[in-house]
Structure 1
Amino acid sequence: MSAKTKLPVGQEAIEEFGWLRAHRFLLLRRASQLLFLSLFLLGPWFGIWWVKGNLSGSMTFDILPLTDPFITVQSIVAGHWPELTGLIGALIVGVAYALIGGRVYCSWVCPINPVTDGAHWLHDKLGLQKGWQPKPGTRYWVLAMVIAVSAITGTIAWEIVNPISMLHRGLIFGMGFAWAFVAAVFLFDLFVSRRGWCGHLCPVGTFYGLLGQKSVLRVTADKRADCDDCMDCFAVCPEMQVITPALRGKDGDTPLILAPDCTNCGRCIDVCAMDVFHFTHRFDDTPAPGRDARERTQPASGASRAA
């Protein structure tokens, strides 16, 4: 609920801009996720092999290799040096996500994202408690553990339990044990830890966050002086801690959200009725007044009464 209006989250934006405008990036994300998943399923389902493989590694039109760089790192530490095609594919994907924002993968590509978003939606509808929240550094320990296990066992350790791969196999081969991993992620986020999987545990998101630390694509709170403290942006953000430095900054502080945890999902842009947030690039040095600017432009209560 909006802290000021007591309206449902995003309702003010819907009334101001219309439903489509207030959900545009959410809809684009779902379309993007469906597109990527469909490309991989065209072959197994319909015999149209434009793309062969899955999100771990694929070949598009028998020309373009794409490899998950996280898989490549595990393979190398496990003692299995990838073929040149695999290395080229990892380099292409790595450079792309390093430029546009590593965790764009999480919000615009990963098929598990709708699962965890669905769990979060139901969590709110049921009015459940926030639940257990792992410490901020937990995700990095999980990432380090996965790489260490790969090195010790000589295997690509994460692929054994990767829910992304499990979901892909389940869609191709039908219901089976693979779906248990996907259901476990949903139930974990629903009952154990709100936004716990993507926000605190998944090593894939952590890896891509590190990869995209200096990425070009960013969200800016360039109109933060207009913020009315409705808190809707915090309510929808999967990594709400990244908003505060940009939104609450003073004059001279950057309005850019520079934290690598930001997924560039655009939901803060969608739900803001004051149009505070926008997509931009990390070199955008457009000055933005801080929150204190609004206070300076508002007349004092005494002066107002005298007038």
Structure 2
Amino acid sequence: MSGRYPGREAIARKGRLGAHRWLILRRLSQTVFLGLFLLGPWAGIWWVKGNLAGSMTLDLLPLTDPLVLLQGLVAGHWPEMTALVGAALVVAAYLLVGGRAYCSWVCPVNPVTDAAHWLHVRLGLPKGWQPKASTRLWLLGTVLAVSALTGTTAWELVNPVTMLQRGIAFGMGAGWTLIGAVFLFDLLVARRGWCGRLCPVGAFYGLLGRTSLVRVSATRRADCDDCMDCFAVCPEMAVITPALRGQTADTPIILSGDCTNCGRCIDVCDRDVFRFTHRFDTRPAPGRDAAPPSPAGRDRAA
């Protein structure tokens, strides 16, 4: 983008709070999830035991990262029934709300990469090297292959999510090196490169979320004025085009599994083009008072 703050018109119309509603809710969600795990080591309140790889809530509710379970299976380790139940519950939840909702609503590394992107834009740095979108799928396959060959849950040895969570609870130590590397990679090497191009966890949840129920829809795409703010803030901007630029007969639903359901496109759109809905709500709404495309709109893109 050209230095213009995306969402400026939305702030003017909705107010600063309204134009950041979903962002604020995401930060609250990430804080709550992380805070529940920190209550034990910090305050001795063990409502939740474990970490995001596997946990037990109130000694009743097991939750297991299905990617961790899959690594264990290919490594030749048959899990306990609680782990199987926990993974089934997580899979069911993300089939409902969208697989990569994990990335934007739960993952504690997301604020790190968001901060790197914010600074990248403010400094006006070039887009940089962009790995192919399929790279994270290859890395996911590599993780499973290494787990099978070594008999370990290989990714957990270097997973930034696990290291960050453990580090906040017990002290980062050398973990800061890895988290700092993720930040610098997104800042200086590849804009939104870690979550969007490399992270195998995001790749796994993207595959899981292809059939999920909750979706973002460009329901009022006829009202779009080509300001390009949604593209500027979207961590996976390629997912917007088919829904927003489609023909009348095409679905306005963003169906890509790469969509993180972060809601930022909803926040920054002053014309309320986007909203959360379900995957079967496929009819675009008629335009209300669509303005002609802004002459400078295309220049605002990231």
TM-score > 0.5, shorter chain as reference: yes
Q: Secondary structure at the match of 2:6?
A: coil
TM-score with structure 2 setting the length: 0.94
Report what 1:305 is aligned to: none
Report what 1:118 is aligned to: 115
Change (3 A) 1:119 1:82: same
Structure-2 separation of matches of 1:120 and 1:7: 15
Q: Secondary structure at the match of 1:145?
A: helix
Report what 1:302 is aligned to: none
Q: Secondary structure at the match of 2:114?
A: helix
| Letter of the structure 2 residue corresponding to residue 280 of structure 1 | T
Map of 1:181-220 to 2, 5 A cutoff?
Answer: 181-220=178-217
Structure-2 separation of matches of 1:184 and 1:89: 31
Report what 1:264 is aligned to: 261
Structure-2 separation of matches of 1:45 and 1:93: 26
Structure-2 separation of matches of 1:77 and 1:264: 30
8 Å CA contact retained: 2:221, 2:284:
no
Map of 1:84-123 to 2, 5 A cutoff?
Answer: 84-123=81-120
| Residue 286 (1) aligns with residue 287 (2) | no
Size of the aligned set, in residue pairs, is 292
| Letter of the structure 2 residue corresponding to residue 237 of structure 1 | C
Map of 1:169-184 to 2, 5 A cutoff?
Answer: 169-184=166-181
Q: Secondary structure at the match of 2:56?
A: strand
Cα deviation, 1:226-269, whole Å, max 9, x if unaligned, reads 11111000000000000000000111010000000000000000
Report what 1:148 is aligned to: 145
Structure-2 separation of matches of 1:24 and 1:240: 20
| Letter of the structure 2 residue corresponding to residue 161 of structure 1 | V
| Letter of the structure 1 residue corresponding to residue 265 of structure 2 | C
Q: Compute the displacement of 1:186 (Å).
A: 0.4
Q: Compute the displacement of 1:14 (Å).
A: 0.2
TM-score with structure 1 setting the length: 0.92
Return 5+ residue gaps in structure 2 as ranges: 294-302
Q: Compute the displacement of 1:137 (Å).
A: 1.0
8 Å CA contact retained: 1:97, 1:211:
yes
Runs of 4+ displaced beyond 6 Å: none
Task: Say which of 6, 18, 29 aligns to 1:21.
Answer: 18
| Letter of the structure 1 residue corresponding to residue 99 of structure 2 | G
| Letter of the structure 2 residue corresponding to residue 171 of structure 1 | I
Structure-2 separation of matches of 1:30 and 1:136: 26
Structure-1 separation of matches of 2:242 and 2:136: 21
Task: Say which of 29, 36, 47 aligns to 1:39.
Answer: 36
Q: Compute the displacement of 1:285 (Å).
A: 2.8
* Aligned residues with identical type, % of pairs: 69
Q: Compute the displacement of 1:287 (Å).
A: 3.8
Task: Say which of 107, 130, 133 aligns to 1:133.
Answer: 130
8 Å CA contact retained: 1:233, 1:271:
yes
Q: Secondary structure at the match of 2:144?
A: helix
Cα deviation, 1:242-301, whole Å, max 9, x if unaligned, reads 0000000111010000000000000000000111000000011334459xx969x99xxx
